[in-house]
C-alpha cells in the first residue's frame, strides 16, 4: 500500500535521512563536501532555508525552514543527485537512501534550541569526537562563532531563540559546552574506535 503524501506546511522542521539498510551515506570527507555542495544548490533552487545541520556517516540531520510542501521535491532532487554521484564514485548500484526521511515540525523557540543542541551532540553520541565543537561537518562551530559557514545558513531564528542580541553566539557556545560536560561520563565510557560511523580526516586530534 502506497504511503500517503506528507502534510508539510510553512514553518521550521527537523529533518533526518538515513542510508538504506547498512549503507553509509558518507564514506569520506569528499562525500560530505559533495553532499553539502548539492544541498546548497538544491535549497537555493527550491527557495528553502537551512538553519542548522550535521553530516554523520550513516545519516544526516538538518533544521530547515520551508514555505510549503516543496520540501518533498527538494529532498527527492537532492537524494537522487547525490545517490547517482555516490554510486558512480564508489562503484555501487543499490539504493543509497531509505525511502522516507523523518520530518518533525518545530513550533517554539525552546524546541528549536533543543533540536540544534541535539544536532551538535550527535557526533559525540556516535563516538566520532569527544567534544561537539570538534566535529567539522556540521554547523555547530559556525553557530558558536568559531568559523565561517561552508554553505549559506539562515541563523536569524536561532539567534532570536537565544535572546536576539549580539551575544547569542556566546550563549550558544556556553549551551553546547554545558551539554558536553553533562555527557562527559557517557562519552568516556565509549571510544571513537567503537563507532561504526566513518570518521573525518578533518577532526582536530
Write out the three cell numbers for 33. 563536501
- Coarse DSSP helix, strand, coil percentages of the chain, rounded to the nearest 5 percent: 45, 15, 40
**Burial (0-12, 13-18, 19+ Cβ within 10 Å), 195:** middle
Residue 66 makes CB contacts below 8 A (sequence gap 6+) with: 8, 10, 11, 13, 48, 49
| Alpha-carbon gap, residue 57 to 28, rounded angstroms | 8
Is residue 205 over pLDDT 50?
Answer: no
102-137: pLDDT as tens digits: 999 999 999 999 999 999 999 999 999 999 999 999
| Alpha-carbon gap, residue 87 to 48, rounded angstroms | 26
Write out the three cell numbers for 203. 577532526
- The pTM of this model reads 0.88
159-204: pLDDT as tens digits: 999 999 999 999 999 999 999 887 655 656 555 445 566 666 666 4
List domains and CATH numbers for the chain: 11-192 (3.30.70.1290)
Between the two ends of the chain, the Cα-to-Cα distance in Å is 49
Strands 11-18 and 59-66: antiparallel
Strands 102-106 and 59-66: unpaired
Predicted local distance difference test score (pLDDT) of residue 197? 65
Is residue 56 over pLDDT 70?
Answer: yes
| Alpha-carbon gap, residue 94 to 108, rounded angstroms | 39
pLDDT cut 70: percent of the chain above it:
86
| Position with higher pLDDT, 23 vs 71 | 71
Helix, strand, or coil (residue 168): helix
Amino acid at each position: 500500500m502506497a504511503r500517503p503524501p506528507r502534510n508539510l506546511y510553512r514553518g521550521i522542521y527537523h529533518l533526518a535521512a538515513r542510508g538504506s539498510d547498512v549503507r553509509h551515506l558518507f564514506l569520506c570527507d569528499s562525500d560530505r563536501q559533495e553532499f553539502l555542495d548539492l544541498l546548497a544548490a538544491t535549497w537555493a533552487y527550491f527557495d528553502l532555508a537551512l538553519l542548522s545541520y550535521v553530516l554523520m556517516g550513516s545519516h544526516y540531520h538538518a533544521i530547515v525552514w520551508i514555505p510549503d510542501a516543496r520540501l518533498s521535491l527538494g529532498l527527492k532532487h537532492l537524494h537522487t543527485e547525490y545517490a547517482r554521484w555516490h554510486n558512480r564514485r564508489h562503484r555501487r548500484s543499490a539504493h543509497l537512501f531509505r525511502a522516507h526521511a523523518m520530518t518533525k515540525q518545530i513550533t517554539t523557540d525552546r524546541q528549536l534550541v533543543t533540536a540544534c543542541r541535539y544536532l551538535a551532540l550527535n557526533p559525540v553520541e556516535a563516538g566520532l569526537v569527544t567534544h561537539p565543537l570538534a566535529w567539522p561537518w556540521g554547523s555547530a562551530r559556525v553557530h558558536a562563532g568559531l568559523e565561517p559557514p561552508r554553505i549559506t545558513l539562515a541563523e536569524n531564528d536561532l539567534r532570536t531563540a537565544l535572546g536576539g542580541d549580539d551575544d547569542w553566539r556566546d550563549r550558544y557556545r556556553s549551551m553546547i559546552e554545558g551539554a558536553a560536560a553533562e555527557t562527559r561520563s557517557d562519552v568516556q565510557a565509549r571510544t571513537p574506535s567503537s563507532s561504526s560511523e566513518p570518521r573525518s580526516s578533518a577532526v582536530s586530534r
